[in-house]
Structure 1
Amino acid sequence: MITLRRRAALLAASLLLTGCGGGAAATPEHPPAATAAGTPATPGTPAPAISVEAAPQRIPGLGTKTRAAVPDDAAQVVVVTGRGRDSPLSTVVLYRRTAAGWQAGKSWPAHNALRGWSDHHMGGDLRSPIGVYGLTDAGGLLRDPGTRLSYDHGVGFTSPGTGFEGEPLQGSFDYVIAIDYNREPGTSPLDWTRPLGAERGGGIWLHVDHGGPTHGCVSIAEEHMKELLLALDPALHPVVVMGDHASLAR
């Protein structure tokens, strides 16, 4: 017969074996507690694995319709997210597809067209075209910084005059990347071929920011343009996804 004293001893031992947390046993789902220094509380017992946040499997901010327009072989995606439908302010982030998911680069402030964005861009409407477009060709007034994209260097990239806010445009085309909207991929950004017709505009580029809104292009700081030129790799089939945040979320 078990005495009351013996029963109390057995109950105390049982409580010690089950550990903290209202009887949660030390199973793979409930590993032993670690000390503040990160070492196991019990010598010889391995510390629990540290959880590392994985890269997202989908690019944040892109809805079903937008994601469906991104080619399956695109492993580099430049996302231009406009602040609003009628805003000239946006941000640019380069994403790269990895085995773990989409790895995001730095977020860069940018300008887009004066009047914001359009699903049906027309020449002179002062809106940037919404959509997904290839990035195949680059160029600039300055020499090739070492990009793997086809690069056209020459005085044709001179940018005289002033912008909408009176800022000088000089240097805006020091580096440019042609956005394959209404153009023939594989040609210089200066090529004027317009497959959709001249009335649909063209000459939509990523280029150096001049401190104000553009006519239809997207502009970022010169150091970021150079960084982007060095990062883009034709073998990864880079594209740009661009539009205001609400349109991209569709």
Structure 2
Amino acid sequence: MHVRNVRPGPRVLTAALCATLALIGYLKVSDQSASPDASSGARAAAKNTGAQAPPLPPRAPKPQVPAAPPGVGPATLTRIPDGTSQVFVVTGESQDSTVATASLYERDTAGKWRRTGGPWTAHNALRGWTDDHWAGDLRSPTGVFRLGDAGGRLPDPGSKLPYDEDELFVSPGVGFLGEPLEGSFDHVIAIDYNRVPGTTPLNQERPQGMEKGGGVWVHVDHGGPTQACISLTADVMRELLLALDPAKEPVIVMGPAAKIAG
């Protein structure tokens, strides 16, 4: 049997071509539905290529808190002169305490305070502390005061402060506990409460009047409370005299711990 080749007619070719074009169109639509957002693709591509987001603006610097010796609060700190780099801190446990803790601090060039002496045990007045000292109230004045002048019955042990050696530094009698006061003024440092700075501790001039008291010193301890002064053992007094340096503008910060921490 003879088989004749039959060529497809024009209609068959046209139908096949239309089917092919329809399939291509379907595939394009499917690709677009899989990636509906061209910009998202661009962002993803940027992420994959390591592109970085714009840098965040710098944060505002934190406010700097002025450094202070341990136990000294912001209100007390404002009373310490800017030029002071040596602070003698004397604090009692309460308003009425007669025993205190004393430490010497120095500020380094970086502004950090470090303890260079103490802690030492000290005595203050018989009735504790007061913000408003009067003559005879038997309380030690609270506050920040300059330490600039020294003296005593005994010779200068090598103090950098001006030192007045004088036999008038005598302390006869007994203290409130019956203890002898002899030797209490062998070495003293004047606290600049109601006195003329730059003069001997023996100076009796009282700028605020005699009724506001005066003659408040750091002196040798006699084993009991004082009338208004701060007292330390003889060895510590000598150590403090050798340490205080007028070039560092030393001050004493004294009072109840809670008050000083305010």
TM-score by length of 1: 0.77
Unaligned runs of 5+ in 1: 1-55
Who wins on radius of gyration, i.e. which is larger? 2
SS in 1 for 2:255: strand
* Aligned AA (1:199): E
SS in 2 for 1:165: coil
Shift of 1:99: 2.7
SS in 1 for 2:101: strand
* Aligned AA (1:225): M
The answer to whether 1:243 aligns with 2:255 is yes
* Aligned AA (2:201): P
Shift of 1:63: 1.3
Shift of 1:57: 3.4
Alignment of 1:191-210 (within 5 A): 191-210=203-222
Shift of 1:58: 2.0
Q: Deviations over 1:187-216 (max 9, x none)?
A: 000001101110000000000000000000
The answer to whether 1:164 aligns with 2:176 is yes
The answer to whether 1:79 aligns with 2:89 is yes
The answer to whether 1:107 aligns with 2:119 is yes
* Aligned AA (1:133): F
Shift of 1:64: 1.3
Residue matched to 2:27: none
Residue matched to 1:234: 246
TM-score by length of 2: 0.73
Number of residues paired by the alignment?
Answer: 195
* Aligned AA (1:83): E
Shift of 1:158: 1.1
Instruction: Measure, in 2, the Cα distance between the counterparts of 1:130 and 1:180.
Output: 12
Instruction: Measure, in 2, the Cα distance between the counterparts of 1:163 and 1:58.
Output: 36
- The percent identity for this pair of structures is 59
What is the CA RMSD across the aligned residues, in angstroms?
1.0
Shift of 1:227: 0.3
Alignment of 1:1-250 (within 5 A): 57-100=67-110, 101-104=112-115, 105-250=117-262
Shift of 1:127: 0.2
Unaligned runs of 5+ in 2: 1-65
Residue matched to 2:17: none
Residue matched to 2:42: none
